[in-house]
Amino acid sequence: DAGVIQSPRHEVTEMGQEVTLRCKPISGHNSLFWYRQTMMRGLELLIYFNNNVPIDDSGMPEDRFSAKMPNASFSTLKIQPSEPRDSAVYFCASSPGGGGYTFGSGTRLTVV
């Protein structure tokens, strides 16, 4: 298995633009998580899905953030409009349940 695949690896965008981050979980994993890593707060859980259904989005910072999982093999995290304070590394992870996430390599987002 290729693991959790995230794209793009790096994204530089101007403030106000829409940004879409993508994730392909490991086949057979029924849980998917979006995390954001910052120096101050470490890894923050933004949202997670079980069987493609959003279970907890309490970590989504603002209405500018939205996430979808249209099927078991794909998820997106969208920021619209983006702001400089959104600059961070965004990780997607998947799990078969019962702990033990597998993380992707992350997307480094820079909003200028």
Partner 1 sequence: DQQVKQNSPSLSVQEGRISILNCDYTNSMFDYFLWYKKYPAEGPTFLISISSIKDKNEDGRFTVFLNKSAKHLSLHIVPSQPGDSAVYFCAASEGSGRNFNKFYFGSGTKLNVKP
Cα torsion 18, 24, 28, 29 to 10°: value is -60
Shorter beta-carbon distance to partner 1: residue 6 or 82: 6
- DSSP three-state, residue 76: strand
Bridge partners of 95, per DSSP, are: 31
Q: How far apart are the first and last CA of the chain?
A: 36
Please say which residue, 52 or 105, places its beta carbon nearer to partner 1: 105
Q: Contact positions toward partner 1, by CB under 8 A?
A: 4, 31, 35, 40-45, 48, 50, 55-56, 91, 93, 95, 97-106
Report the nearest approach of partner 1 to the CB of residue 8 (Å). 14
Kindly tell me which of 82 and 95 has the beta carbon lying closer to partner 1.
95
